[in-house]
Chain A
């Protein structure tokens, strides 16, 4: 079973992602900000991390930076899910090592397909 961490500070967004990924058969871990993501990463190596960018305490960019320095997480796919949709931010996110950058609002179905393709 694939492990996925979903990080967002919007409760209602988290809810729908958690429901959909659980239903598809993922092991879903919910985080409210970057620090909670790092907490999970101490004990586990997820297959996918969905990261919002604008989060309190530790934002998505900074969280990714820390993730990409960790050797054991080199196979973990990181996907930004952000309302920031200007090309500068997208470019920045991909340059930092994100596997994909998906802008809000997104289709959950397409998001899942994209993730599936990453593992093929």
Chain B
């Protein structure tokens, strides 16, 4: 047994832990917290309340399989979130939606009245549900401490716990005035609680299965001795199955629309991809929960057979029965977690709805006249704080005076059925363009009326007047006509209310024309994927508005700095001049969004409307504009594609132009070099000619020398000109290559013969090394002779008398390798590549200039390249080696080149 004081201390420590986690998460904001999809997925388990923790066990023990739909419904529908919730998250993000009321009412024309009705529906459904949690806390507290429930508020421990929760919620729930902001602290604390409650129920489950009993089959075997075991664990025929299915539908609907689920799944969603994790993780979580309900429920029945105990509290009673205080307290803490996470999230989201959809738009909007942003912000958060306290006090009162006697299960289900009345409008918002405000509102009100008379009155009124008779009873009897014999009460009301609700919604929507604003948002909601990038463009508004007026309003809520910053971003995004005075539709929507998180979408609209003058637009016009904007968007896409293409083209052009400029410069350089090369022999010729012409008494010997000079320099001139033209032809591929099989040794000899005497003149030692495995190779023989003569001629020029020239012929993998070495001065390392450039010598001052056109090596390189080979020069030992490599089959190379050409 545990004393009240000790347990209360444990509770305090537990709450302190939550505060700490929330505090750390808010403070650190580390990536681990923010980007963790499991925190998001775990926070969704706020769904599992005291009802799950205690109520389901009671249902399993007394009504059999009916405990399952609460889990099966969500498990079935959650995978569809990948589609549904992804869209809702997008819609909510671009519209700064902060609650389910905002979400639905914005779609139906941003209607203030609709959002107020939805808020009231949520309050009606959820406040008793919160009361239920308080009840569970109180009852289990007294159960654990084995004390009687105190009627006095001041001595009821639940009172203090509730006050602490209210403080926690109001502190961490209102940290940001923008309600669409993510509350990392709260989410993290809820995720922790979700983990703990599952962990504790697993401990209890294992305790029951393996400690109290001898495994799962032991419980099953013993429990199956009960007379009602079979009945409780089957559907009991088609009738039971239909009831069961409808219960699944109720919970499946609730998991999507329940304000606390909308809050955790949509408003607190940081990244769309987290939904991907949630759709398997959350069903798995629920599945683990359900697995342990059966053994605990039936184990409880076996243990307490014949005793009068509430089966809803088996989970605490079992460990208590076995005097295991630790597990008792853990289970209590798990239940406490379920309760307080529900209370916290529900009170926060309801307070947002209460403040943004009811209090501010219906009364307090005028209060925000103050120019002082800080004052206004404080007012908003104070309204929310006040709302949270008011909600929790309402729930507390409910717990104290209405639901003490009712079961967890029934209140929970009624709450689900009431919330399910939002389903037609909710799902219609995402899937149906024609859905109208009138239809949604009428359907909702009719559905609510049915719920009210069918469920709420009997539940709360009858529970206090069990035997009531008279007019009201008679009135109810007249409705017996609608009774469906095989459905139990809750599925029956669910069926009728939703039938009427959906029917009215559909009929009225198709038979009346919606307002243009509704239709505008209908398009935005249904086609969110198209508008996600520039949703402000999809908003249709026509009229007169001035930026300065709107700016004034923004400043009242955002402050001067943030307003300026927001405007800068807007102007940048849409490329608008900051001096623009009139506001367009995009700016109106942008401003409404900025305000929406703080005061709700409806109030934001009202405030903006106050300073703008909107012209009426007919529905037809709206549809036209939307059609246009859709076309614009696709046109835009096409234009983007085209502009990308243009960009690529212009890049290509620029590259081509750069290439041309480079080529042009190369050509200029080349011409410069050519002119220079030509001027030198011309100078010599001219000077000799001048002397011969002017000087009559020139000695015969000298005269001859000058005349010879004229002849050799003329030859040089024509050599240069020939080489230039030849190289040009080579470069432009105008010289056809006659590639055929030739004997390389013979070709070499043919090249060598004409210059052999020059080599002998300089007493140069010439040698050949033949390492060839084969002699026949594919090449153009005439070009190869030219190549040999150029390289050998070059070697001859640079080799000193009595030097050495050595030619080495080899082949490797069909490649022909020619190495020609000569002794002589090394080429500077940095010039080894450049010597193959045209007129390299004349540009380089540092080597002695032998006679020649300056184009020899450039021609060699061209000849080798044309046959797919390479040429390079290296300094080796006492001289320089030129290495020429020709590919095995030049024909193959040529084919490859031609194919490449034909491709481009």
Contact = CB atoms under 8 A, between A and B. Distances in A.
A56 B849 contact: yes
A92 B401 CA distance: 107
A1 to B, nearest CB: 20
Given A54-B842, A59-B845, A83 B687 contact: no
Nearest to A62: B845
Contacts of A106: 683, 686-687
Given A15-B705, A16-B706, A19-B691, A105 B683 contact: yes
Nearest to A55: B845
Contacts of B682: 104-105
Q: What are the 5 tightest A-B residue pairs by CB atom distance, in nearest-first order?
A: A16-B687, A83-B679, A12-B684, A104-B683, A105-B683
Interface in A86-101: 86
A63 to B, nearest CB: 11
Given A105-B686, A107-B690, A9 B676 contact: no
Contact of B709 (A12, A20, A86): A12
B688 A12 contact: yes
Interface string B663-700: 00000000010011001101111111011001100000
Given A54-B842, A56-B846, 13 more contacts: A9-B849, A12-B688, A15-B705, A16-B688, A56-B845, A57-B845, A83-B680, A84-B676, A103-B679, A104-B683, A108-B687, A108-B691, A109-B690
B847 interface: yes
B875 to A, nearest CB: 19
B736 interface: no
A10 B680 contact: yes
A83 B849 CA distance: 15
24 contacts: A9-B848, A9-B849, A10-B683, A10-B684, A12-B687, A12-B688, A12-B713, A13-B680, A13-B687, A15-B705, A16-B687, A16-B691, A16-B709, A54-B842, A56-B847, A56-B848, A57-B845, A83-B675, A85-B679, A104-B679, A104-B682, A105-B686, A107-B686, A108-B690
Contact of B676 (A19, A20, A83, A108): A83
Contacts of A56: 845-849
B702 interface: yes
Contacts of B846: 56-57
A52 to B, nearest CB: 9
Interface residues of A, number: 26
A102 B304 CA distance: 125
Nearest to B685: A105
A10 B694 CA distance: 22
A23 B676 contact: no
Interface in B551-573: none
Contacts of A19: 691, 702
Chain A contact residues, majority secondary structure: loop
A17 interface: yes
B288 to A, nearest CB: 86
A104 to B, nearest CB: 4
B683 A13 contact: yes
A68 B733 CA distance: 51
Contacts of B690: 16, 107-109
A108 B690 CA distance: 7
A70 to B, nearest CB: 22
Contacts of B702: 19
Nearest to B687: A16
A84 B706 CA distance: 24
A28 to B, nearest CB: 14
B50 to A, nearest CB: 93
Contacts of B842: 54
B825 to A, nearest CB: 11
Contacts of B687: 12-13, 16-17, 20, 105-106, 108
Contact of B691 (A20, A59, A84, A85): A20
Contacts of A103: 679
A9 B712 CA distance: 17
Contact of B845 (A12, A54, A86): A54
Nearest to B716: A12
Interface in A29-72: 54-57, 59
A19 B849 CA distance: 23
A18 to B, nearest CB: 11
A104 B676 CA distance: 9
Nearest to A84: B676
Most chain-A CB neighbours within 10 Å: which of B680, B685, B687, B849?
A: B687
Interface in B865-901: none
Nearest to A83: B679
A40 B675 CA distance: 32
A60 B676 CA distance: 16
A9 B851 CA distance: 11
B694 A109 contact: yes
A10 B851 CA distance: 9
B490 to A, nearest CB: 99
Contacts of A10: 680, 683-684
A9 B680 CA distance: 10
Given A10-B684, A56-B846, A105 B679 contact: yes
Interface string B697-719: 00000100110010011000000
Nearest to A81: B683
B773 to A, nearest CB: 44
Contacts of A13: 680, 683-684, 687
Contacts of A108: 687, 690-691
A106 B690 CA distance: 10
A104 B681 CA distance: 10
A23 B706 contact: no
A15 B709 CA distance: 10
Nearest to A106: B683
A105 B717 CA distance: 14
Contacts of B845: 54-57, 59
Interface in B383-432: none
Most chain-B CB neighbours within 10 Å: which of A12, A59, A106, A109?
A: A12
A17 B690 CA distance: 11
A104 B688 contact: no
Contacts of A20: 687, 691
A5 to B, nearest CB: 17
A86 to B, nearest CB: 7
Interface in B840-856: 842, 845-849
Contacts of B691: 16, 19-20, 108
Contacts of B848: 9, 56
Contacts of B849: 9, 56
A105 B702 CA distance: 21
Most chain-A CB neighbours within 10 Å: which of B680, B713, B846?
A: B680
Contacts of A105: 679, 682-683, 685-687
A65 to B, nearest CB: 14
Nearest to A103: B679
A106 B695 CA distance: 17
Nearest to A20: B691
A54 B677 CA distance: 11
A15 B846 CA distance: 23
Most chain-A CB neighbours within 10 Å: which of B679, B695, B709, B845?
A: B845
A12 B250 CA distance: 111
B472 to A, nearest CB: 112
Nearest to A57: B846
A23 B694 CA distance: 12
A9 B849 CA distance: 8
Contacts of A109: 690, 694
A62 to B, nearest CB: 9
B685 to A, nearest CB: 8
Contacts of B712: 12
B273 to A, nearest CB: 64
Interface in A104-119: 104-109
A19 to B, nearest CB: 6
Contacts of B847: 56
A103 B676 CA distance: 11
A55 B841 CA distance: 11
A21 B378 CA distance: 104
